[in-house]
Structure 1
Amino acid sequence: MTLARSLLDKGSRHVAAVASDEVFPLHFIDRSASLRNPVHVSTWYFNDVLDGDKLHQSLDHLLHLGDWKKLGGRFRLDKNGKLEIHVPEQFTSDRPSIHYSHKSLPMRAAEHPLAGKIPKASSRPSFHPAAEEFLLPLTTRPGMPHNMEDYLSSDEPLLSLRVVVFLDATIVSLAWPHAVMDAMGMATVIQAWSLAIAGMENEILTIDGVRDDLLYQATLKPAAEKFALEPYMLIGFRFYLLILRFICDILFGGRRENRIIYLPQKSVQKLHSQAMCEINLHKNEPLKISRGDAILALFSRSLVLAQKRPLLVVVPMDLRSRLRDIFLPSMSYPQNAIQGGHFTVNADETTTKSIGHLALAFRQNIIQQGGRQQLLAMLRCNRELSDSGGDPATLYGPSNAVIMSATNLNKANLLSIPNFSPAVVGARCSEEATGSPGIPSFFNTSHSKIAWRRGNVLMNLGIDQDGGHWISGSFNIRTWKYVEESLKDL
């Protein structure tokens, strides 16, 4: 009988608590319904042979340092049915800090029927099938958790590391539950892991905020401003109307395709320059649009042209960089610390506004909603909803809108932060390999299972060492046609 089975409560599929475990709470943002179930698989492709055991040992070592051990815990429910994390008193072979699996294949990556499909950088904008549609058999393992119920009914640790080694390349995948941290939080783990591999333990930042809910505490103080979007909160009938339309869009909105796009640096520069010219902005003026703003505007415009309805763009905003008095730069915060920025694009704006003007509108909204007082006001609204039994990840906008989730991971630097060069074994075998040894050439993140149907999703995955942008998206065919048309001259 396995340890997990011996821990099962009679009459329950959930694993019982171990009395000696140390208990860590989840925070109020973690309890959002949209964060509870997703298990993400973040995957990096290296043009190097890496020592998988060294990667595992260094990550395991990190989770033995102070409160980093929280990430080696297990999900449990308290007596009131609320999620919490239970960390073993000692990590053992029966109850390890992470689940590690390793596979060595005696072939080059390009010869493998799945790994050979991993997209490569190109000199022109290029479209590729979504990586999860062919990579998941390589990057996941049988029996791994795919949702919260899987975690609660097993003694699985929160993190799963899988390393697949070819003769000339390595695929490294880390599976992690969204209920514990967001992508920026995961980036802090990768940064600390890279330092651990290099033996630079003294430079690893101390983890903070694992016991105290820093954001909850911040919302208990009187708000200096009212949240500007509070009148547009989608609750009650308006929320159910939005969800009904969302379901109809999924079911009857036409065939959807998940794709990855590579935009070389020169194409992104051209798009950005055109957008800047359209709004007559110059580099010496205080208000600028970013390249990410221009990319977001291009996809938003394409979606509205295809759907001919208002668009509600929801952009996760990282709070670590915006609330510096709460999240100290000298500490590490692998947790959920995001709030959604909400931007509405009316259907008629696609005919009256250029990509540049839409990008400027996005930037102005980010500046307004991302200011300290507005963030605290939004957090206060969402915390009060959570206290009353509601969902702290509320939407704000028109109930007849098409929804697009747009995440920009460029700040997370997930194509440059991983530095696994101390784990490189031997010299490179591939003449086509570019970039520095131990630095990935491709990154992707997805759910651990392919969703039957997805909404409209845009994700800037990151910028490679040549300045090219990797982007993933899920849209219907009509929207992709507008995207292709917009990119053809870049």
Structure 2
Amino acid sequence: MGVFTSKPTRPAKVPTDTIIPLHSKDDTKSLRPFVLDFTLCFDDVLDAEKLRSSLERLMDIGDWRKLGARLRLNDYGKLEYHIPASFDAQRTAFRYSHMKYETSISEHPLASKLPKPTSRPAVLNSTDEFQSLVRRKDGPTKLEDYLNSDDGQLSLHIVSFSDATLVTLTWPHTFIDAMGRRALFDAWISVLNGLEAEVSPLQGFSTDPLATLGTQPTEPYALEKYQIKGFAFFIFAVRYAWELIWHSKEERRIICLPATHLNTMKSTALSELSACAPDTKPFLSDGDVISAWLARLALSPTLSRTSKRTVLLMNAFGLRGVLANDLLPTDKAYIANASNSVHALLPAHEILTRPLSFTASQVRRSITQQGTRAQIEALAAIERETYASCGRSPVFGDSSMKLIVISNWTKTRLFELDFSAAVVEVGVPLEGRRHGVGRPRYVHSCPYSNGVPIRNAFPVFGRDAEGNYWMSGTLRVETWRKIEEGFKKEL
């Protein structure tokens, strides 16, 4: 038994479904392996049925029914959406589950361990520790779970306590990116508040707004000469694989960066830049400083301070702002993926020995340099060519390069989401907290990567009401130990 197994039977086509292909930035090899759990933790009791019914109603509004699409593979191996003409008890818009505990969240053996702000930078729990809490037992973890079922792409799981609520959405990464997630929440909250007229229409229901992106570049990409090709890419891939084999044990841990610490780092960095160029007024965002800080954290336990190894500090870059004038207008919601990356190439020894201001300024420079419309077009052209010839995304740097990836979600303002319309009882008294009623105290995210390595990758969840930044990262187990030791020495 078990030696010979049959492939799951995939659902039959439903003649009344609307069938449309996924957009160009959705159906990619880099996104297919990922499924994401995303959790909002509230210090209030929310009405679970009100949350469910309002999300269900959203998917009945015009083209928003696309959110209930089923994922299918066509005969050419491409993903496509099969959208039901309507939703009912047999074919629901999304999977819904609800757990209710009569106790306080502080009395639950696992929920009580959810991270809380710290006074100093701290490495906290593993994101994986909370999987059994924030999702249903049979929740999807891979693309095949969607292809082999007739479920929609969204799952809603709510956990209720006597004084708190956890709200988790689960979806495949082919479905949506960070800014698209914010657009989804905004529409959901509008319906929750009885303001259906304020729900923005969808952009790109059946046609791809980004289909022409990169077809007519007007200038070369800034890092075009650093693209790794041929044998050099093979060496890079081998070295990366060797790292994963030789240091196979890794953990995905949560980090709290307190507001006071971030503000001190940023103020120092700006002062240092001003001293180097007295006639200019330097600018650094919080994200620039956080990127530099994370790069040093990831590298210092594993590389010597004299290392000449190239480091690619790659930041995810949302395209909605750059393309707002034509392809992705702001008066419509784009529920899909619309991002690429900006790249800062630096020698490891400069990240480890020069002031944090230097690395932060290089991150800012990469955004300024590569975040223009012309550069977006130029990179998209290289992406098209590389996908066509190699079936993968382009990589920039050199064959010995170490890659660090940062995806900063702060612009989505997730800690400001207002679900107060669903609150039935205030949990933590208002005088004991900074966040408002119906606004999340904590945001939590856990990816399922299905064998795709995400080492040295850091999603930054955002800034809470107290100004603290929350993020997670995937690093070697021994690297986390050394980071923890370093934090303790700073006390």
Q: Same fold (TM over 0.5)?
A: yes
Which residue in the other structure is 2:3 paired with? none
Are 1:126 and 2:127 an aligned pair? no
Which residue in the other structure is 1:164 paired with? 159
The alignment's TM-score, normalised by the length of structure 1, stands at 0.91
Identity of aligned residues (%): 33
CA distance 1:379–1:193, shift in 2 (3 Å): same
CA distance 1:229–1:452, shift in 2 (3 Å): closer
Alignment check: 8 A CA contact 1:140 1:448 kept? no
**Matched position secondary structure for 2:45:** coil
**1:423 is matched by which residue type in structure 2?**
A
**Matched position secondary structure for 2:102:** coil
Which residue in the other structure is 2:31 paired with? 35
**What is the distance in 1 between the residues matched to 2:244 and 2:46?**
41
Tell which deviates more after alignment, 168-177 or 18-27. Answer: 18-27
**1:406 is matched by which residue type in structure 2?**
I
The alignment's TM-score, normalised by the length of structure 2, stands at 0.91
Two-structure CA RMSD over aligned residues (Å): 2.4
**What is the distance in 2 between the residues matched to 1:94 and 1:334?**
25
Which residue in the other structure is 1:238 paired with? 232
Alignment check: 8 A CA contact 1:55 1:197 kept? yes
Which residue in the other structure is 1:344 paired with? 345
Alignment check: 8 A CA contact 1:310 1:345 kept? yes
Which residue in the other structure is 1:98 paired with? 94
**Matched position secondary structure for 2:212:** helix
**What is the distance in 2 between the residues matched to 1:367 and 1:400?**
26
Alignment check: 8 A CA contact 1:242 1:399 kept? yes
CA distance 1:376–1:450, shift in 2 (3 Å): closer
Are 1:52 and 2:30 an aligned pair? no
**Matched position secondary structure for 1:214:** coil
How far apart are 1:383 and its partner, in Å?
A: 2.1
Which residue in the other structure is 1:263 paired with? 257
Match of 1:184 among 179, 187, 193: 179
Are 1:76 and 2:77 an aligned pair? no
**Matched position secondary structure for 1:379:** helix
Uncovered stretches (5+) of structure 1, i.e. residues with no partner: 1-9
Which residue in the other structure is 2:218 paired with? 224
**Matched position secondary structure for 1:458:** strand
Which residue in the other structure is 2:421 paired with? 422
**Matched position secondary structure for 2:374:** helix
**What is the distance in 2 between the residues matched to 1:158 and 1:452?**
21
**1:45 is matched by which residue type in structure 2?**
C
**1:163 is matched by which residue type in structure 2?**
I
**What is the distance in 2 between the residues matched to 1:176 and 1:458?**
19
Match of 2:192 among 193, 197, 213: 197
**What is the distance in 1 between the residues matched to 2:177 and 2:452?**
23
Which residue in the other structure is 2:408 paired with? 408
For residues 240-276 of structure 1, what are the alpha-carbon distances to aligned partners after superposition, in whole Å with 9 as ceiling and x for unaligned?
A: 3222222221222374332212222211110101111
Which residue in the other structure is 1:368 paired with? 369
For residues 342-367 of structure 1, what are the alpha-carbon distances to aligned partners after superposition, in whole Å with 9 as ceiling and x for unaligned?
A: 22221231355211011001100111
Alignment check: 8 A CA contact 1:168 1:430 kept? no
**What is the distance in 1 between the residues matched to 2:341 and 2:453?**
22
Q: How does 1:127-142 map to 2 (within 5 A)?
A: 127-130=123-126, 132-142=127-137
Tell which deviates more after alignment, 223-232 or 478-487. Answer: 478-487
How far apart are 1:142 and its partner, in Å?
A: 2.3
Alignment check: 8 A CA contact 1:127 1:261 kept? yes
How far apart are 1:438 and its partner, in Å?
A: 0.5
**What is the distance in 1 between the residues matched to 2:406 and 2:222?**
21
CA distance 1:11–1:313, shift in 2 (3 Å): closer
Alignment check: 8 A CA contact 1:78 1:84 kept? yes
**Matched position secondary structure for 1:332:** coil
**What is the distance in 2 between the residues matched to 1:471 and 1:484?**
19
Alignment check: 8 A CA contact 2:33 2:452 kept? no
**What is the distance in 1 between the residues matched to 2:102 and 2:329?**
46
**Matched position secondary structure for 2:386:** helix
Alignment check: 8 A CA contact 2:284 2:360 kept? yes
**What is the distance in 1 between the residues matched to 2:332 and 2:367?**
25
Which residue in the other structure is 1:4 paired with? none
For residues 110-167 of structure 1, what are the alpha-carbon distances to aligned partners after superposition, in whole Å with 9 as ceiling and x for unaligned?
A: 111110100112333333112x222110111122221111111111110000000000
